[in-house]
Amino acid sequence: MSAKVNLLDFDRKSMEAFFVSRGEKAFRATQVIKWIHQLGVTHFDAMTNLSKSLRAWLHEEAEIVIPDIVLEQQSADGTIKWLLRVDDGNSIEMVYIPEANRGTLCVSSQVGCALDCSFCSTAQQGFNRNLSTAEIISQLHIAIRRLSDKLGHDAFGKKRVVSNVVLMGMGEPLLNFNSVVKALNLMLEDNAYGLSKRRVTLSTAGVVPALDRLGEVSDVSLAVSLHAPYNSLRDKLVPLNKKYPIEVLLPACRRYIAGQAHRSVTFEYVMLDGVNDLPKQARDLAKLLRDMPAKINLIPFNPFPGSVYARSSDAAISKFCEILAAQGLTVITRRPRGDDIDAACGQLAGKVVDKTKRLQKKEHVLQFSFQ
């Protein structure tokens, strides 16, 4: 007897194929997607516009499996972090950031991360596996229901509790391409979550071939973890740069937004004291991006146990921002959110059974030279 399929793994196209292959009409996909994603229904018997025979067949062939919530924490600033169990040995984290005019959900795409960026707590946990589409989209499904209960809003009422989604949690989304794209499709699908492509952002360290491929199938907003204005420094902060250096990455960013009017790329730049926050580096960054439709997010470093870095001073961040703005660049300094519950950018850790054995290979104190 074959295992049941998890319907959360299907976007509309693959859901249609599932029904058609079993002799059902394609429109059943739209009905079921609405039940699951818009109405939050996870029991087939409650899907009342399906025939009894179809519901019985779904009971035999399919299931709707959502990760369990292990822990929910709320920061003093209103940020909420959830720890979700995805299998017996692994858990992931997702974060909700409320603001006056939006609610942003930061979603994970992998258990751990394979890229080993030196300033990121997630990367220091090692890597276990990719998340399935079901495990990715379940994060949005769970957050909307939990927040709707807390805040008293209808999940798809006039005031959405989740108005923006960023794939900026644990993992590198472009290294989990197929599952991430199907999850993106559901986020944008009118019969599922109906989010605007401008309100769904994929953040990448710069996996160039996958970025080019993404541009062929999606046009969600793009954020790139840059963190340095030249290769010698970025090689140490973001080791992926050795494979796809800045002179390869930036043209790929241009290709992604080519033909999309009024679109830009957001470049993330974590501010590390004495490492990448010098005035000369700000001028180098301005020169690098001067002809690029770009927004720059300056992110004060969020410390984590074992890190060798310190957050840049407020004065250094302010000066860096001032230099960029004087060169005509759009620049925003991100305010740390949720750092009292380790929910801030770069702090997500979850629980990872590290298949890379990275933690065993690391010295107790990492030493880097940034000359």
The answer to the question of residue 108 being in a domain is yes
The answer to the question of residue 289 being in a domain is yes
Number of domains making up the chain? 2
Same domain, 54 and 177: no
User: Last residue of some domain: 46, 63, 80?
Assistant: 63
**Backbone φ and ψ of 33, nearest 5°:** -60, -45
Of 16, 61, 93, 363, catalytic: 93
For residue 18, what pLDDT is reported?
A: 96
For residue 178, what pLDDT is reported?
A: 97
Q: For residue 154, name the pLDDT band (cuts at 50, 70, 90).
A: very low
The answer to the question of residue 366 being in a domain is no
Three-state SS for 304? coil
For residue 234, what pLDDT is reported?
A: 97
The answer to the question of residue 54 being in a domain is yes
CB burial of 280-301 (b: ≥16 within 10 Å; e: otherwise) equals ebbbbbbebbeeeebbbbbbbb
Distance CA 13, CA 110 (A): 23
Same domain, 31 and 162: no
CA pseudo-torsion sign 247, 252, 255, 256: negative
Which tokens is 95 given? 């974060």
For residue 30, what pLDDT is reported?
A: 97
Of 113, 253, 321, 345, catalytic: 345
Average pLDDT over residues 141-169: 80
H or E stretch at 335: none
Mean pLDDT estimate for the chain = 89
Distance CA 122, CA 106 (A): 14
Q: Is the pLDDT of residue 259 over 90?
A: no
Q: Which of 31-35, 75-79, 316-320 is predicted least confidently?
A: 75-79
- Residue type, position 46, single letter: A
The answer to the question of residue 369 being in a domain is no
The answer to the question of residue 305 being in a domain is yes
Same domain, 230 and 133: yes
106 catalytic residue (yes or no): no
User: Last residue of some domain: 63, 97, 112?
Assistant: 63
Mean pLDDT highest for which of 75-89, 149-163, 184-198?
184-198
Query: Which is nearest to 225 in space by CA: 208, 253, 204?
Result: 204
Same domain, 322 and 177: yes
Q: Residue 334 half-sphere exposure, CB side, CA atoms within 13 Å?
A: 23
Same domain, 186 and 302: yes
Same domain, 347 and 238: yes
Query: Which residue is listed with tokens 């609610």?
Result: 103
The answer to the question of residue 243 being in a domain is yes
Q: Is 155 left (phi over 0), alpha (psi -120 to 50) or beta?
A: alpha
Same domain, 256 and 345: yes
pTM: 0.91
Q: Is the pLDDT of residue 184 over 50?
A: yes
Same domain, 180 and 45: no
Same domain, 58 and 92: no
Q: For residue 362, name the pLDDT band (cuts at 50, 70, 90).
A: very low
Which tokens is 222 given? 């793009």
Q: Which of 107-111, 154-158, 191-195, 228-232 is predicted least confidently?
A: 154-158
Q: Is the pLDDT of residue 364 over 90?
A: no
Same domain, 57 and 205: no
Q: Cα–chain-centroid distance for residue 137?
A: 11
CATH of the domain at 40: 1.10.150.530
DSSP letters spanning 104-156: EEE---EEE-SS--TT-HHHHT-EEEEPPHHHHHHHHHHHHHHHHHHH---TT
CATH of the domain at 238: 3.20.20.70
For residue 177, what pLDDT is reported?
A: 98
For residue 367, what pLDDT is reported?
A: 33
The answer to the question of residue 368 being in a domain is no
Same domain, 34 and 106: no
Same domain, 338 and 244: yes
For residue 81, what pLDDT is reported?
A: 92
Q: Is the pLDDT of residue 237 over 70?
A: yes
Quote the domain boundaries for residue 251: 68-361
pLDDT, tens only, 289-306: 999 999 999 999 988 877
